[in-house]
């Protein structure tokens, strides 16, 4: 059986669609654990109502402790042999459980990593990894490069495009972080398994709108030190897999910083002076990365242009470019 763990918090507008997509699975042997994490809205009441209609749904209530503790509670309460995580504002393909489980069994793997659809500002972006099978202690040269690409393309970051074996989970989600905890959980899991299968098929619809690009004040304050912690942990991760990381953890730090800088354009809670202050903080943080990490192999044109001025400390120009990019994104969204 697959235990699907869904943390519930401020999701009364999206939860029903999420749960419906899970109930419509072609693979019928599953349970849904709604971990109600002390939401201030009607999410908990909705969870109870959904559970009354279908016995495959279990509601587990806890005081608000955050998404990591909610997922950890789900792992502890799960009755299934396999674990899947889904966010309450996303929804999944009806054959996703079937595809994940079939791949895991076919390849006799301990984990499956799959693709997803990124629904971003009205755009439907299909993100698919290269399909393959990997024995973590016998990675060939070409497979090591593929692993580097999996990391750089972000497929190792999230938990909702994967299927896990419950018995293999030795380390739960770290609860002392408010960003990046998913990556650390996945890295710890990967280092504890023998074989991983990669499925080039979408299993989840990840929804991100303007709210998804805006960090809370606390998260933004924590972003830089967390980024460097992830940099250090990921460097160790590649070393244990005996893979030359090619300074990709440093490149990923830069990409994370650029993501946040571009997100400033959509943050209505801050004025121009405050946003320029944030940009200067990231400019100072960039100096902490060693060469060639501060010269990353960026592919996106907007990243390249912004980074050119970012690494030179041109705060005003970075702010201007970020605002222009935000305006363009909004125009494209309106045009559909």
Residue-wise pLDDT tens digits, 198-249:
999 999 999 876 444 444 455 556 788 888 899 999 999 999 999 988 788 8
- Find the Cα–Cα–Cα–Cα dihedral 206, 22, 71, 196, rounded to 10°: -70
Domain containing 196 equals 2-208
265 versus 74: which is more confidently predicted?
74
Same domain, 116 and 247: no
Task: Express each pLDDT in 157-176 by its tens digit.
Answer: 999 999 999 999 999 999 99
> DSSP string spanning 223-241?
HHHHHHHHHHHHHHHHHHT
More confident site: 299 or 2? 2
Of 180, 208, 236, the last residue of a domain is 208
Q: How many domains does the chain contain in total?
A: 2
Cα(58)–Cα(73) distance, integer angstroms? 13
Are 238 and 324 within one domain? yes
Cβ atoms of 14 and 209 within 8 Å: the answer is: no
Q: Domain containing 50 — which CATH number?
A: 3.90.550.10
294 — pLDDT class (breaks 50, 70, 90): very low
Question: Mean per-residue pLDDT for 137-145?
Answer: 89
pLDDT digits (tens, 9 = 90+) for 301-322: 888 899 999 989 999 999 999 9
Asked if pLDDT for residue 289 goes beyond 80, the answer is: no
Give the per-residue pLDDT at 238.
93
Looking at the fold, whether 199 and 219 belong to one and the same domain comes out as no
What's the Cα-to-Cα distance from 137 to each of 134, 154, 157, 192, 248, rounded to whole Å? Answer: 9, 22, 21, 11, 21
């Amino acid at each position: 059986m697959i235990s699907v763990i869904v943390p519930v918090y401020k999701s009364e507008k999206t939860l029903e669609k999420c749960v419906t997509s899970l109930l419509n699975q072609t693979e019928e042997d599953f349970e849904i654990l709604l971990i109600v994490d002390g939401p201030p809205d009607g999410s908990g009441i909705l969870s109870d109502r959904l559970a009354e209609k279908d016995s495959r749904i279990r509601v587990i209530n806890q005081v608000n402790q955050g998404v990591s503790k909610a997922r950890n509670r789900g792992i502890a309460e799960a009755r299934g042999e396999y674990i899947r995580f889904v966010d309450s504002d996303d929804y999944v393909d009806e054959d996703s459980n079937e595809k994940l489980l079939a791949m895991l069994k076919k390849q006799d793997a301990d984990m499956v990593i799959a693709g997803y659809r990124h629904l971003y500002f009205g755009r439907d972006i299909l993100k698919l990894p290269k399909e393959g099978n990997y024995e973590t202690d016998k990675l060939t040269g070409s497979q090591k490069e593929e692993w580097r690409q999996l990391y750089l393309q972000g497929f190792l970051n999230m938990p909702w495009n994967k299927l896990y074996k419950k018995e293999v989970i030795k380390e739960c989600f770290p609860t002392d972080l408010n960003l990046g905890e998913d990556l650390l959980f996945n890295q710890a899991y990967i280092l504890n398994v023998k074989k991983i299968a990669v499925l080039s098929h979408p299993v989840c619809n990840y929804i991100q709108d303007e709210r998804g690009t805006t960090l809370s004040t606390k998260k933004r304050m924590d972003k830089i030190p967390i980024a460097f912690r992830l940099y250090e942990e990921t460097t160790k991760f590649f070393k244990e897999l005996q893979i030359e990381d090619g300074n990709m953890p440093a490149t990923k730090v830069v990409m994370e910083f650029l993501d946040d800088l571009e997100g400033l354009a959509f943050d209505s809670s801050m004025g121009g002076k405050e946003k320029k202050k944030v940009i200067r903080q990231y400019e100072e943080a960039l100096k902490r990365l060693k060469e060639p990490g501060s010269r990353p192999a960026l592919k996106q044109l907007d990243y390249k242009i912004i980074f050119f001025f970012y690494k030179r400390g041109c705060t005003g120009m970075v702010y201007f470019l970020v605002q222009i990019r935000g305006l363009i994104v909004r125009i494209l969204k309106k045009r559909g």
